[in-house]
Amino acid sequence: MAEYRAPLREIRFWLSLFTDSAADRATDGAATGVGGNAGWHAAPLDNDVADAVLDEAARLAETVLAPLYRLGDQRGAELVDGKVRIPEEIKEAYAQLAGDGWVGLPVDEAYGGQGLPQRLATAVNEIWKSANLAFSTCPMLTQGAIEALHAHASDALRHRFLPQMTSGAWTGTMNLTEPQAGSDLGALTTTATPDGDRYRIKGRKIFITWGDHDLADNIIHLVLARIDGAPNGVRGISMFVVPKFLVNDDGTLGARNEVATVGLEEKLGIHGSPTCALNYGEGDGAIGYLVGEANAGLRYMFTMMNTARLAVGVEGLGVSERAYQQALAYALERVQGASADGWRSVAIIEHPDVRRMLLLMRAGCDAMRGLCYRAAALIDTASAGHGGADERVSLLTPIVKGWCTEVAQEIASLGVQVHGGVGYIEETGAAQVLRDARITTIYEGTTGIQANDLVSRKILRDGGQALRALLGDIAATRGALACDDATVPIGDALAAGLEAADEVVDALLSRGLEQPAFAGTAAVNTLMLLGTLVAGWTLAIGAREAARMRAEQGADTAWFDAKIRTVHFYAEHFMPRIRAYAAAILAGSDTIMAFSASDLQR
């Protein structure tokens, strides 16, 4: 298995785009700020601090986390006498990560965090996820739980739980899914009965990532439940803090709460991440504390879910980068087949089809990185109080989550293909990446759920206004691109993509509300179309910035030339997919819906 190396030069290049000066260069007088540049004017990012953070994150990833990737897959977690046990080596790695303050990187300084910008935290998360995806989900969920509590909990709850969660001494989870409910949260049956200033929680939750473990002293569960007498459906859901161990007034740990681990799932991948079934309240009921107002729990949980959805998009990037590095290393060393002139044996990287596959992987990674970092910069912009940024984050969230993880399936599969027969053998590591990648399109909402959210809530609900604004920003950038070799191919591809996107938006707005099946059958293709287009937009600006930097004295022209050619490849091999997505959307839903359930049976 090839060793993972954090692509720091790539990461720093894309982070450098999200500055005021880069934004101004990208538009040549076009609209700036949240409108014209989709939130590039974010909170300042100290370059010296960023460099130091990235260097140390890379060291920890390469020397501590990545070497445990295969161990976590082979040994994983075990359920012993109702307790989840994690391999000792992984426990030591978590202790080092938490002890060095990484969990609190983007967290408010009031709770012991470092308060650094989200785009820097996103870059660090990419490195963790490439190094060890299963491990990375633990601090990711803790950060999401911190954000939800910071946004919606009382001061008393925040001060009781957030400092220890920020330090990594305690971890966090989200508890939504139940056996009978799945993604239909309105069907959940977990109950909450008032008991003084607290509640007694009873019910069962499944698929709880890091729901139990022995990495940390306590686990803080955010649980969705229905208070006795609450309305049916999603309107009657509340959110509760339910700690594994109760916390005394002085902050010390008290008695074990009634949260029992009753199962550990056997999964396709991410074996190093325990996925648990939890029973709440096998006696009097687990003690829980209401977060915010009653019956507002689903809205509160979406704070954590949206954070997690963006982070899962970064997971798509992370596993793709690892797959690319493994495939590239193998293609460089594996000698097989003759050269084009037939006179010598060559490494397989010399074969055109292998080169094509590697470039699909490379260009996909670049596109995902630009898209994920753009969304992170928008979060920083929103945090700085710039109007309109929240709306753009909301629009991009399902695209980042859905598109990046779907492309990751292609890239991880290509990683196996580049290896050939040995890619299908576990010891090369390519198969593990493919297995690990597969969950990313499912948890935190499947691609279909993301796509329906995008079409129904983000496009149809406002008559397409937010999307039209986004397409207008892309058009402004396309119009400002200089007519030079660096940007002509992607600029032309953007023009064609915008034309197709406009057709799709018109169709959605004219047929989507009147024909629910049309919106439903068009949703995933709409998400994939917009993801391809928005990522291409970011790559176009990256190509122009690379051309500018290439012209500077002493620049590494070969590196920038390769980056520009990668954008050309994306324009030629990814952007044409937009027209295919549009054709499938515009074909409508009649053929799909003409099949009855019995027609689909063999």
Q: Per-residue pLDDT tens for 572-588?
A: 999 999 999 999 999 99
Region of poorest pLDDT, from 22-26, 164-168, 375-379, 391-395: 22-26
Model confidence at 76, pLDDT cuts 50, 70, 90, reads: very high
Give the separation between CA 252 and CA 217, rounded to whole angstroms. 11
Beta strand extents in 463-564 (DSSP E only): none
Asked if the model's pLDDT at residue 29 lies above 70, the reply is no
Give the count of beta carbons closer than 10 Å to the beta carbon of residue 461: 12
Please tell me the predicted confidence (pLDDT) of residue 558. Answer: 96
- Cβ-Cβ contacts under 8 Å for 102 (sequence gap 6 or more): 57, 60, 124, 139, 168
Q: Which two tokens stand for residue 259?
A: 């949260």
Residues marked as catalytic: 444
Q: For residue 289, what are the β-bridge partners?
A: 241
Range of 550's domain?
Answer: 446-596
Please tell me the predicted confidence (pLDDT) of residue 35. Answer: 39
Please tell me the predicted confidence (pLDDT) of residue 91. Answer: 98
Per-residue model confidence as pLDDT tens digits over 39-51: 344 557 888 999 9
- Cβ-Cβ contacts under 8 Å for 419 (sequence gap 6 or more): 326, 327, 330, 428, 430
Q: Specify the pairing of strand 259-264 against strand 275-280.
A: antiparallel
Per-residue model confidence as pLDDT tens digits over 479-500: 887 666 678 899 999 999 999 9
- With beta carbons less than 8 A apart as the criterion, state whether 176 and 224 touch: yes
Residue 118 lies inside a defined structural domain of this protein: no
Please tell me the predicted confidence (pLDDT) of residue 602. Answer: 87
- Cβ-Cβ contacts under 8 Å for 561 (sequence gap 6 or more): 550
Asked if the model's pLDDT at residue 324 lies above 60, the reply is yes
Please tell me the predicted confidence (pLDDT) of residue 32. Answer: 38
Please tell me the predicted confidence (pLDDT) of residue 487. Answer: 85
Please tell me the predicted confidence (pLDDT) of residue 482. Answer: 63
Q: What are the b/e assignments for 15-54, b being 16+ CB within 10 Å?
A: bbbbbeebbbebbeebebbbbbbbbbbbbebeeeebeebb
Please tell me the predicted confidence (pLDDT) of residue 387. Answer: 74
Residue 177 lies inside a defined structural domain of this protein: no
Residue 381 lies inside a defined structural domain of this protein: no
Give the separation between CA 452 and CA 407, rounded to whole angstroms. 18
Region of poorest pLDDT, from 37-51, 199-213, 447-461, 530-544: 37-51
> Distances in Å between the alpha carbon of 427 and those of 53, 272, 338, 552?
32, 17, 27, 45
Asked if the model's pLDDT at residue 177 lies above 90, the reply is yes
Model confidence at 377, pLDDT cuts 50, 70, 90, reads: very high
Q: Specify the pairing of strand 275-280 against strand 286-290.
A: unpaired
Asked if the model's pLDDT at residue 38 lies above 60, the reply is no
Q: Which two tokens stand for residue 195?
A: 């008991």
Greatest mean pLDDT among 13-17, 238-242, 551-555, 594-598: 238-242
Residue 7 lies inside a defined structural domain of this protein: no
Residue 347 lies inside a defined structural domain of this protein: no
- Cβ-Cβ contacts under 8 Å for 63 (sequence gap 6 or more): none
Per-residue model confidence as pLDDT tens digits over 428-468: 999 999 999 999 999 999 999 999 999 999 999 999 999 99
The mean pLDDT of 391-410, rounded to a whole number, is 97
Asked if the model's pLDDT at residue 217 lies above 70, the reply is yes
Residue 451 lies inside a defined structural domain of this protein: yes
| Mean pLDDT value across the chain | 93
Residue 205 lies inside a defined structural domain of this protein: no
Region of poorest pLDDT, from 228-237, 336-345, 417-426, 429-438: 336-345
Region of poorest pLDDT, from 20-29, 385-394, 560-569: 20-29
Please tell me the predicted confidence (pLDDT) of residue 43. Answer: 58
Asked if the model's pLDDT at residue 337 lies above 50, the reply is yes
The mean pLDDT of 94-111, rounded to a whole number, is 96
Please tell me the predicted confidence (pLDDT) of residue 483. Answer: 65
> Distances in Å between the alpha carbon of 64 and those of 68, 91, 104, 426?
7, 11, 19, 21
Model confidence at 385, pLDDT cuts 50, 70, 90, reads: confident
Please tell me the predicted confidence (pLDDT) of residue 30. Answer: 38
Angle, alpha carbons 438-368-174 (nearest 5°): 50
Beta strand extents in 136-197 (DSSP E only): 170-175, 191-195
- Cβ-Cβ contacts under 8 Å for 526 (sequence gap 6 or more): 451, 454, 455, 459, 504, 508, 581, 585
| pTM given for the model | 0.95
Total tally of structural domains belonging to the chain? 1
Please tell me the predicted confidence (pLDDT) of residue 22. Answer: 52
Residue 592 lies inside a defined structural domain of this protein: yes
Q: Which two tokens stand for residue 314?
A: 């970064």
Q: For residue 203, what are the β-bridge partners?
A: 280
Asked if the model's pLDDT at residue 24 lies above 50, the reply is no
Please tell me the predicted confidence (pLDDT) of residue 514. Answer: 84
